[in-house]
A and B are shown apart, each in its own frame.
Chain A
Amino acid sequence: MSDAAGLPRRVSGRPPASSGHRRGAQPNGMWGMALFLCSEVTVFGSLFGTYYYLDFRVRHWPPDGIAAPKVTLAAISTAIIMLTVPTMYAAVRSARRGGRHGALGWVLLSMLLQAAFLGLQVAIFRSDLMQFSPRGSAYGSIYFTLLAAHDAHVIIGLALDIGVLWNLWRHGVERYWLLGVRGLALYWYVIDVLAVIVLFVTLTPSL
């Protein structure tokens, strides 16, 4: 037998999900974002692999003349961006409840933290560039490329933040933009975890 819309009813015999809460499947958009992030994580995995491959080939890493990276500023910036995990989670919770201002506020706060991270990263980048160049050695090449890859993902994330913020403000938490907030949150969770790993990998000589 079928229901009113003419569609077959549940096959599995499992009880249906309670109303108001998401039922048994993630939306297609979340699947898409998750799979896209698998691809990006693979890029970073390959970057980490490259770092250690080049590291284990030589006796001196970094090569003579290049100081081991400094820990403090990098650790502080990573801690800042890790704060966006709970803030984005709060944004999603607000959005699910239909709270437009709450969602807006939490996303905006996240964006400020991410911008602060980026600012500190740029400062570290520039200071490192004055000491050694990516053209001078394979160490320089992988060090700067790894940091730049992560920073590029943060920049893209900031652009996504702006898009979501604008649409939350114009249209409120409608279905499309609830998915937008959830997708954005997933993006940032992964970028934040990657920030921690990038920190550990680039600081390997200093640990």
Chain B
Amino acid sequence: MATTIEPAAQRYVDELAAVWAERKGVLGWLTTVDHKRIGIMYFFTSLAMFACGGVEAMLIRTQLIGPNGHVLSPAAYDEVFTMHGITMIFLFVIPMTTGAFGNYLLPLMIGARDMAFPRMNALSYWIYLGSGIFMYFALATGHAPNAGWFDYVPLASKQYDPGNNIDFYGYGLIFNGIASTMTSINIIVTVFKLRAPGMSLNRMPLFCYAFIAASVALLFALPVLSLACVFLELDRELGFQFYVAAKGGDPLLWQNLFWIFGHPEVYIIILPAFGIATAIIPTFTERKMVFFPLVALSEILVAFLGFGVWVHHMFTVGFATATYIYYAAASLIITIPSAVQLFAWITTILTGTPRFKTPMLWIIGFIVYFILGGLSGITLAAIPFDTQVHDSYYVVAHFHLVIFGAAVFPILGGMYFWFPKLTGRMYHERLGKLSFWLTFLGTFVLFMPMHIVGILGMPRRNYTYPAHVGWTLLNFIETIGGYITAAGLVLVVLNLAHSMRHGEPSGNDPWGGDTLEWSTTSPPPPYNYPVIPTVSSPYAMWDTEDRERDNRRLARGEGLLPVGHRTPTSTAQDADIDEIASMPSSSPWPPLVALSLFGVFAMLLLDHYWIVVGFLAVLLLTVLGWHQGAAAHARAHEVVPAPETGTPHE
């Protein structure tokens, strides 16, 4: 039941609207710190990156449609498949989940008015955009990274890759990692400290658990990659010997560091998808999630256990059998929390009354592909089998099923699900269903044959293959599947783009949603909630008494915080109210800091080390300006401590 605004309450709402109004025009977007605007910017940028990665995929599949293809030269192919991996992982899926979905939805779901660090939020977006431009500048100038998205040395060393292709990779990933680190810090503090008073941890939606798990994992995984890239650049640019076997270094050091990051990364990719699924399933089955605490625990366990399995990417490098057996065991154990979640979802659907609208269809597709990809993953933990199919198309099939089938399907479902909330309009349902079935079918035709062609011995990262080895027909089928998938995805975009202008008005809550964001207007006002919501369970929208209480409080003008940009903060576990914090409204400093950081990395790439120092000085000045501005803002808006006395909330 939505929070409706009665005439008596209108003047309070008008006061809030005046205080929280966003600046208009391009300058408004450039200086915004509002989580919804930042989420939208993340969304469109990562969607554009998805399109780039998709074009790269289509080029790969077209090159491989038959043997001895001539669509791409070997050098071009190597750049295209490397950029495909880098784009999809670092420039699409992580920013889309944590940056777009996370930023937009988390404050709304926890009843807050913004993220904990709004300016740092903006900064993370501008840095992300800068890193995307940095990497694609490489492709545009014909110097894109070309040693694969995991960039093994010595192939990526200066000796075997003398141009600056790999430097775009090394510096670019460090640059990109700064944005993701900031986003993960922001998400963790927001979800722990900014929940509406009363939303103790056991009343927090599962979506939030998934995002916390992903963010904590990201915080601890990214530094390892950044360090590996620092070693790489030190070796390449200054002649250090970290990865040089002849001088006491070890190429496997790169592999170990990379995969210590790389394996948690794949759980970071899929956890937000789990979160989206756990938001959609209760709504469309009209039933609470089965075994909520176990599902929340499983989400956390997956993130935690994911740090202990990375050597399963290295089963063929010649380590001791005992080492391999340990990591295989760990890799199999991690199946359990995933299986728990899977059966919780299936049981919820089975015991509820499911409505198979477009968002729900994407979740069904996600479940199907998650099972398939998970099963092939289990087979890969059987070491003798892995030694046969490692680095073949069987592995390509596995990870595409779990990344595309299982991580991207909920993203697409989530796009349909929250489209009415963001735009106030409904999409075309039949076109939506068609877009799903086309993508689902295309995914099957594209990736299932890859299992077979891998078992038939086709290695990965080959720019072509000979005729008469037995791979031709399967590759042809896969390419057709690729085109079908592309058609489905284009249909998704066309459906939503057209519906933005011409869709039917949706109202606040077209689905009967269970989480708080469905109580606001569509789209939400800049201040999100006129009244800080009362919460008694993880399914806040289904607690009609609480929503009616909020309506009455609105009419009385209670809980509005209309002076300045204010939102309450609360304690981490029980969400007891802590203090009323004052949020910044807009700031020019984030894009300026991002710009100077871009200068630092660009000059590092070009080996102009003295100019790097210059840009570092500019960076220092912009950071100082930021803090002076922040301090002045804090001085002007006194923070109000929480009321000291009170009886427990009724």
| Chain A residues close to B by CB (< 8 Å) | 1-14, 16, 19, 23-25, 28, 31-32, 35-36, 38-40, 42-43, 46-47, 50, 53-54, 57-58, 63, 134-142, 145, 159, 163, 167, 171, 174-177
Contacts and interface: CB of A to CB of B under 8 A. Distances in A.
Contacts of B188: 31, 35
The listed residue with most A CB atoms (<10 A of its CB), out of B227, B570, B572, is: B227
B189 A32 contact: yes
Contact of B647 (A1, A40, A43, A142): A1
Nearest to B243: A138
Nearest to B558: A6
A109 B412 CA distance: 56
A3 B650 CA distance: 12
A177 B634 CA distance: 10
B569 interface: yes
A176 B634 contact: yes
B86 to A, nearest CB: 21
B253 A53 contact: yes
Contacts of A137: 241, 247-248
A7 B192 CA distance: 19
B575 interface: yes
Interface of B: 116-117, 120, 181, 184-185, 188-189, 192-193, 197-198, 200, 219-220, 222-224, 226-228, 230-231, 234-235, 238-242, 244, 247-250, 253, 256-257, 260, 531-532, 534, 553, 556-561, 568-572, 574-581, 620, 624, 627, 630-631, 634-635, 639-650
Contacts of B234: 134, 141, 145
Contacts of A57: 248, 250
Given A6-B559, A176-B631, A11 B648 contact: yes
Contacts of B624: 163
A137 B518 CA distance: 60
Nearest to A39: B223
Contacts of B184: 35
B131 to A, nearest CB: 17
Given A5-B640, A145-B240, 17 more contacts: A1-B647, A2-B558, A4-B643, A8-B649, A10-B647, A11-B574, A12-B576, A23-B578, A24-B571, A28-B117, A28-B189, A31-B116, A32-B117, A53-B256, A57-B248, A138-B244, A138-B249
A2 B223 contact: no
A63 B248 CA distance: 8
B253 A25 contact: no
Contacts of A32: 116-117, 120, 185, 189
The 7 closest A-B pairs by CB, nearest first: A6-B558, A9-B646, A6-B559, A138-B248, A138-B249, A42-B223, A141-B240
Contact of A28 (B220, B556, B569): B569
A25 B192 CA distance: 10
Nearest to A159: B620
B250 A28 contact: no
Contacts of B557: 6
Given A5-B561, A6-B558, A11-B648, A58 B248 contact: yes
Given A16-B644, A32-B189, A10 B577 contact: yes
A151 to B, nearest CB: 15
B634 A136 contact: no
B17 to A, nearest CB: 18
Contacts of B192: 31
9 contacts: A6-B560, A8-B532, A11-B575, A25-B578, A40-B223, A42-B219, A42-B223, A137-B248, A145-B231
Given A136-B247, A176-B635, A16 B645 contact: yes
Which of B241, B553, B572 has the most chain A CB atoms inside 10 A of its CB?
Answer: B241
A199 B546 CA distance: 57
Contacts of A171: 631, 635
Nearest to A55: B248
Contacts of B257: 46, 50
Nearest to B573: A12
